[in-house]
Structure 1
Amino acid sequence: MKILVTGASGFIGSHTCERLKHLGHDVVGLDNFNDYYSLALKQLNEKALNDKGITVIKQDLRAAALAEVLPDDINYIFHFAAQPGISATSTFEDYFTNNIIGTKYLIDYALTLKDFRLFVNIGTSSIYGLEATFPETTAPKPASHYGVTKLAAEQLVLQKSREKLFDSCSLRLYSVIGPRERPEKMYTKLIACAYNDTAFPLYQGSGSHLRSFTYVGDIVDGIVSVIGNESKVNGEIINLGTEVEHTTQEGIEAVEKVIGKAIKIDHVAARAGDQLRTKANIEKAKALLNYNPKTTLLEGVKAQVEWYKKHFV
């Protein structure tokens, strides 16, 4: 199969590209290489993909007429590209144009494809809101511009299933960790603070926040398992993550244990829209995809520390 992966030079997108290639698919990546975080990291990921024979097209999804620059024989789309997270440096317009307009233009492109099998939208537990412990039938209550716009993007994609224009699904991911995690995310930042002897900014009250910290390899297992299961997943929203919860404080302690060093903490004001608890309800993923994440928090942290040491220490 020929597969397009948007956000291919990002954290989870790059891992998914590699897995799809390993499974024997023809993989085409797309990324706009924006400056939300270090371009050097995206370029490092791109090189890893190039070394495996995967080409990454530099293209912004917010440009219309994508059919003029992208292949016309794509069978699957895995849509990771988005304005991510909760950031004071991102405006509502950033979220709106990247997550909604970009998705709409990608849908328009998918509608031009002749042998198109499935549009896989990559969603987020942030869609649920401040508490994300629910099954997929629960009414969403997003508490950030990120969550609101990711919900809108999800519905734009699933609308096409309801209209019977193409098959689609949306996978809501939970607190993914591992090698290539973005530099502003918790574990990469913790590891960097440990090696650079700088203080980790801990948001007030967040030490007790609960998270389904899920290793990226386990997440990718679920993502690629939709291939061949189109009839099962069409029109569906599916949670992917681990059922095991850890506090932020336990995450800090895991990094300290792996590196063998205490991390300095700088307590800072709480962040609006930050989730209080995420625990992935994956009964649906188990039933439809035989999904079974197994990597422990400590195993995931060890892999991420080794990646960081290889490239940045």
Structure 2
Amino acid sequence: MKILVTGAAGFIGSHACERLKSLGHDVIGLDNFDAYYSLELKQLNEKALNNKGITIVKQDLRDNAFAEMLPNNINYIFHFAAQPGISPSSTFEDYLTNNIIATKNLIDYAASLKDLKLFVNIGTSSVYGLEATFPETTAPKPASFYGVTKLTAEQLVLQKSREKRFQSCSLRLYSVIGPRERPEKMYTKLIACAFNNTQFPLYNGSASHLRSFTYVGDIIDGIVSVIGNEAKVNGEIINLGTEVEHTTQEGINTVEQVIGKSIKINNVAARSGDQLRTKANIDKARALLNYNPKTTLLEGVKAQVEWYEANFL
């Protein structure tokens, strides 16, 4: 199958490209190499993909010219590209254009594809709001520009299933960790602080926050399992993550255990819109996709530390 992966130079998108390629698919990546975080890291991911025969088209989905650079015989689209997370450096316009306008442009391209079997939107547990412990039938209550715009993007994609224009689904991911995690995310920050003897900025009150820290390999298992299950997932929203919860403090302790040294903590003001608890309800994923994440937090942190040591020390 010919598969398009947007956000291919990013954390989860690059892993998806590799897995899809290993399964024998013809994978085309697309990424705008936005400077939201280090281009060095994105270029490192790109090099890893190039070494496996995967080419990344450097285009921005906000510019309709991207469609001219892509073939018209794509069978699957996995849409990871987005303005991520909760960041004071990101404006509402950043979220609006990257998460809504870009998705609408990609949908328009998808509607022109005669051989498209499935459009897979990569969503987020952030759409549920300050607590994300619910089944997919629960009404979303996003508490950030990120959550609001990702929810809108999700509904734009699913609208096409309702209109019977093409088949689509949305996968809501929970607190993904592992090699290539973005530099502003918790575990990459913790690992960098431990090795560089610098302070980790801990948001006030967040040490007790609960998260479904899910290893990226387990997330990719769920994502690729939609292939061949188009009839089951068409029009559906599906949570992907682990049911095991850990506090932020337990995450800090785990990194200290793996690296063998204490991490200096600098308490900083709490973030507006930060989730208090995420626990993936994956009953639907089990029923439809036989989804069963198995990687422990300790195993995931070990893999991420090894990746960091190999690339940044």
TM-score grouping bracket, smaller chain normalisation: over 0.9
Whole-angstrom distance in 2 between the partners of 1:71 and 1:106: 13
SS of the aligned residue for 2:288 comes to helix
Where does residue 215 of structure 1 map in the other structure? 215
Indicate if the aligned counterparts of 1:66 and 1:109 stay in contact, CA closer than 8 A: no
- TM-score, structure 1 length as denominator? 1.00
Where does residue 141 of structure 1 map in the other structure? 141
Q: Report 1:273-292 matches (<5 A).
A: 273-292=273-292
1:234 partner amino acid: N
Where does residue 84 of structure 1 map in the other structure? 84
Aligned alpha-carbon RMSD (Å): 0.5
Give the drift of 1:64: 1.6
Whole-angstrom distance in 1 between the partners of 2:311 and 2:157: 37
1:70 partner amino acid: L
Where does residue 97 of structure 1 map in the other structure? 97
1:249-305 CA-partner distances (Å, limit 9, x unpaired): 000000000000000000000000000000000000000000000000000000000
Give the drift of 1:67: 2.8
Give the drift of 1:68: 1.6
**Runs of 5+ unmatched residues, structure 1:** none
Whole-angstrom distance in 2 between the partners of 1:65 and 1:21: 26
**Runs of 5+ unmatched residues, structure 2:** none
1:216 partner amino acid: V
1:53-96 CA-partner distances (Å, limit 9, x unpaired): 00000000001244322111100000000000000000000000
Whole-angstrom distance in 1 between the partners of 2:277 and 2:263: 23
Whole-angstrom distance in 1 between the partners of 2:200 and 2:93: 29
Q: Does 1:125 align with 2:125?
A: yes
Amino-acid identity (%): 84
Whole-angstrom distance in 1 between the partners of 2:131 and 2:38: 30
Whole-angstrom distance in 2 between the partners of 1:90 and 1:65: 24
Whole-angstrom distance in 2 between the partners of 1:228 and 1:66: 28
Give the drift of 1:223: 0.1
1:118 partner amino acid: L
Whole-angstrom distance in 1 between the partners of 2:212 and 2:86: 18
Where does residue 266 of structure 1 map in the other structure? 266
Where does residue 295 of structure 2 map in the other structure? 295
SS of the aligned residue for 2:237 comes to strand
Indicate if the aligned counterparts of 1:128 and 1:139 stay in contact, CA closer than 8 A: yes
Whole-angstrom distance in 2 between the partners of 1:119 and 1:74: 10
Indicate if the aligned counterparts of 1:74 and 1:115 stay in contact, CA closer than 8 A: yes
Q: Report 1:1-313 matches (<5 A).
A: 1-313=1-313
2:228 partner amino acid: G
2:276 partner amino acid: L
Whole-angstrom distance in 1 between the partners of 2:3 and 2:203: 39
SS of the aligned residue for 2:64 comes to coil
Whole-angstrom distance in 2 between the partners of 1:111 and 1:133: 34
1:211-235 CA-partner distances (Å, limit 9, x unpaired): 0000000000000000000000000
SS of the aligned residue for 1:19 comes to helix
SS of the aligned residue for 1:20 comes to helix
Q: Tell me the matched-pair count.
A: 313
Give the drift of 1:177: 0.2
Whole-angstrom distance in 1 between the partners of 2:75 and 2:98: 23
Indicate if the aligned counterparts of 1:4 and 1:77 stay in contact, CA closer than 8 A: yes
- TM-score, structure 2 length as denominator? 1.00
Whole-angstrom distance in 2 between the partners of 1:143 and 1:215: 25
Whole-angstrom distance in 2 between the partners of 1:42 and 1:59: 14
Whole-angstrom distance in 2 between the partners of 1:131 and 1:155: 20
Whole-angstrom distance in 2 between the partners of 1:72 and 1:232: 25
Whole-angstrom distance in 1 between the partners of 2:94 and 2:14: 22
Whole-angstrom distance in 1 between the partners of 2:310 and 2:243: 30
1:309 partner amino acid: E
Indicate if the aligned counterparts of 2:60 and 2:66 stay in contact, CA closer than 8 A: no
Whole-angstrom distance in 1 between the partners of 2:310 and 2:67: 39
